[in-house]
A and B are shown apart, each in its own frame.
Chain A
Amino acid sequence: MNSTLVSIALLFSQLSLLAFGGGNTILPEMHRQAVNVYHWMSDPEFAALFALAQAAPGPNMMVAPLIGWQVAGWSGLAVATLGMFGPSSIVTCVALRLWRRFKDQTWRRAIQTGLVPISIGLVAASAVLIVQASDHEWVLAAITAGCAIVAVRTRLHPLWLLAAGAAVGWTGLGQ
């Protein structure tokens, strides 16, 4: 096993266990490590990979296997996938076995409620980070703003917004 694969395994298994509140909360750390610590890719490349993963169906952590594949090919894909989804799944399975023992509602609710603002802060940080990495031109900032407003105000399927963003981008307008 070469050192890149070890790094991929360490990074994603660490992120897997830190992903309280879902995949978007670990995005800043993934970005920090992939771009600034390991220098696997540039800022725009990270943003592009994130966008590809968003355009695909499925869980919102698919950027992890994609980064693994981009950095180290098929073995990178396998290692990143196992690292990203293995540890948290094992924790979930163990927790499920203990579930019936932890029926103290107030204790559980206190932790759940207390973690909510942390999750929200992390998702907001992810959003700012990805906006900074993606929007180098006014037209891209306009796409981001338009999509955000439409997605907050309507229940339009996200795929339409991604398609619209890609279509506007394709024209090269303002880029």
Chain B
Amino acid sequence: MALSDSDERRFDSPTAPTDAPTVGELFRGFLMMGLMGFGGVLPLSRHIIVDERRWLSGKEFTELLGLCQFLPGGNVINVAAALGLHFRGVPGALAALAGLIAAPTAIVVVLGAIYARFQSDPHVVHMFAGLAAAAAGLLVSMAVKLALPLRKKPVAIAFAVICFAAIAVFHFPLLPTMLVLAPLSIAAIRKTGT
């Protein structure tokens, strides 16, 4: 492999582990992540991309994820788009995205059809109510886990609380809330260092 080629294809590391996957391999790899990623695709995607298929090194994956978290959109969705584009251009990005959402889309539609069909059955209604309550609990746990590292960071806590109140208590629309709070939070945290 020519040096210029490898520079073009790799992220920032010159010691990338393997050759670039094909469009078909990208589709199949992300199809597996979509199919097996119950309760969060991120840990699984790292396992498949870094350990199993060796498309990226661990360091490259973390860097890519950092970029993807900073951008709008689901983290794993962005990883799929970025990785596909990186290895195989626009066709690669489309293949990775299609692979990632194909199976989950089919599954949610089947679940939705079951829900719609048996909506009048009290057992099914109760079951979905229980399922919804459990899903709500998982979301609460995620908020708690995210918030725990903010301890001892008063400025960050203040902005998290203001943002929470704006959306959950005052029901402000998201766009203006973010346009006001995001720059203030970035400026304040940069200035105070907390």
Contacts and interface: CB of A to CB of B under 8 A. Distances in A.
Interface of A: 14-24, 26, 28-29, 32, 44, 47-63, 65-66, 69-70, 77, 81, 85, 87-89, 91-93, 95-96, 99, 108, 110-131, 133-137, 140-141, 143-152, 157-159, 161-162, 164-172, 175
B117 interface: no
B8 to A, nearest CB: 11
Q: Chain B's interface: helix, strand, loop or mixed, by majority?
A: helix
A63 to B, nearest CB: 8
Interface of B: 34-41, 66-78, 80-82, 85-86, 90, 93, 97, 100-101, 103-105, 107-109, 111-112, 115-116, 122-123, 126-147, 150, 155-164, 166-168, 171, 173-175, 178, 181-182, 185-190
Given A77-B105, A85-B73, A85-B101, A167 B141 contact: no
Contacts of A114: 182, 185-190
Nearest first, the 3 A-B pairs at minimum CB distance are A169-B130, A165-B134, A88-B73
Given A57-B35, A124-B143, A152-B141, A51 B131 contact: yes
Contacts of A161: 134, 137-138
22 contacts: A22-B69, A29-B173, A52-B131, A54-B39, A57-B34, A58-B107, A59-B101, A69-B109, A77-B109, A89-B78, A93-B82, A121-B160, A121-B162, A123-B146, A128-B168, A134-B136, A136-B129, A144-B134, A157-B38, A158-B38, A166-B130, A169-B128
B141 A18 contact: no
Nearest to A147: B137
Contact of A96 (B67, B103, B115): B67
Contacts of A91: 71-73
A70 B119 CA distance: 13
A60 B135 CA distance: 11
